[in-house]
C-alpha cells in the first residue's frame, strides 16, 4: 500500500479525516478547528503538515514537524510533532513513509537532528521509532500553561485593584500540572532494520 501513496501538504478540505486521525491519536479536535490550525502551521517559520493519501486519494495518515534554532547546538533542530495513521491502514508502511518524508524535509531545511516525544504508555510506538534508528535519550516534562495564564490574569487583576502583592496565591494554582513522556532522537550512527 505504501507504494501507491502520495504525500502532500495537508489542506483545509482534509478536516474531516484529520479530526478522525487526531481522535485516534488521543487529541480530539472539531472539524471547524482544523483550517485555523493548518493556517497556524503554514504561517510558522519552518513548520509543515503533510498527509499521506492512498491510491484512491483518501487521506490515511498525518505527520507534522517544526524546526527551531537552538542555543545548545550549532544548527537548527527539527521536531516531529504529530504522526498518526488510520487504524485500519496501519502496518502497511504508511507511517514509515511519512517519517522518511519528514526526515527529508528537515534535512532540506538545514536541521541536524530530528527529535520527537511519545507518551510513556505507547510501547508499540516506541518500538516503531527504535526500528527506524531513533533512540530514547531522555524524558519530557510538560506544564499546562493555561493554569499559568489564568494565574497571571488573576494576579494582574488583583494588582490593579489593590495594593496587595499578587504573588501570594501563586503556589496554590501551580500544583498538579505536569505530565511525563519519552523523548526520541534520530541517531545517524546507529544502524537498524528500518
- Interval 79-126: pLDDT, tens: 999 999 999 999 999 999 999 999 999 999 999 999 888 888 888 888
44-58, 136-150, 161-175: lowest mean pLDDT where? 161-175
- Look up residue 75 and give its three cell numbers: 544548527
In a domain, 180, yes or no: no
pTM of the full structure:
0.73
Higher-pLDDT residue of 162 and 32 is 32
Q: CATH no. for residue 66?
A: 3.40.630.30
Lowest mean pLDDT among 51-55, 82-86, 172-176, 182-186: 172-176
Residue 81: inside a domain: yes
Kindly tell me if the per-residue pLDDT of 176 is higher than 80. no
The answer to the question of residue 166 being in a domain is: no
C-alpha cell at 15: 478536516
Beta bridge partners of 173: none
Residue 71 resides in a domain = yes
Tell me the β-bridge partners of 8: 51
* Greater model confidence, 140 or 153: 140
Task: Give the range among 31-35, 61-65, 135-139, 178-182 with minimum mean pLDDT.
Answer: 178-182
Point out which residues pair with 142 in neighbouring strands: 179
Positive or negative, the CA dihedral 138, 82, 69, 145 is: negative
CA distance 43 to 149: 24
In a domain, 65, yes or no: yes
The domain in which residue 60 lies consists of 2-111
Does residue 139 form part of some domain? no
Parallel, antiparallel or unpaired: strands 6-9 and 59-68: unpaired
In-domain check, residue 123: no
Mean pLDDT confidence for 7-12: 97
What cell numbers appear for 14 in the block? 482534509
How many domains does the chain contain in total?
A: 1
Between vectors from CA 43 to CA 134 and to CA 66, what angle results, nearest 5°?
10
Averaged confidence pLDDT in the chain: 80
**pLDDT average, residue stretch 23-49:** 95
Percent of the chain predicted with pLDDT > 70: 74
Amino acid at each position: 500500500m505504501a507504494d501507491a501513496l502520495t504525500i502532500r501538504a495537508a489542506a483545509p478540505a482534509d478536516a474531516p479525516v484529520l479530526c478522525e486521525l487526531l481522535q485516534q491519536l488521543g487529541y480530539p479536535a472539531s472539524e471547524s478547528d482544523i483550517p485555523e490550525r493548518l493556517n497556524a502551521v503554514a504561517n510558522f517559520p519552518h513548520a509543515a503538515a503533510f498527509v499521506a493519501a492512498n491510491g484512491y486519494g483518501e487521506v490515511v495518515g498525518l505527520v507534522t514537524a517544526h524546526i527551531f534554532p537552538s542555543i545548545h547546538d550549532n544548527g537548527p533542530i527539527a521536531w516531529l510533532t504529530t504522526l498518526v495513521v488510520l487504524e485500519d491502514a496501519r502496518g502497511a508502511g504508511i507511517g514509515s513513509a511519512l517519517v522518511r518524508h519528514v526526515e527529508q524535509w528537515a534535512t532540506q531545511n538545514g536541521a541536524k537532528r530530528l527529535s520527537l516525544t511519545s507518551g510513556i504508555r505507547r510501547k508499540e510506538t516506541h518500538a516503531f521509532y527504535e526500528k527506524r534508528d531513533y533512540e530514547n535519550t531522555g524524558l519530557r516534562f510538560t506544564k499546562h500553561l493555561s493554569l499559568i495564564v489564568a494565574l497571571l490574569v488573576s494576579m494582574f487583576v488583583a494588582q490593579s485593584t489593590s495594593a496587595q502583592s499578587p504573588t501570594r496565591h501563586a503556589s496554590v494554582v501551580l500544583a498538579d500540572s505536569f505530565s511525563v513522556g519519552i523523548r526520541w532522537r534520530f541517531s545517524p550512527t546507529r544502524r537498524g532494520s528500518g
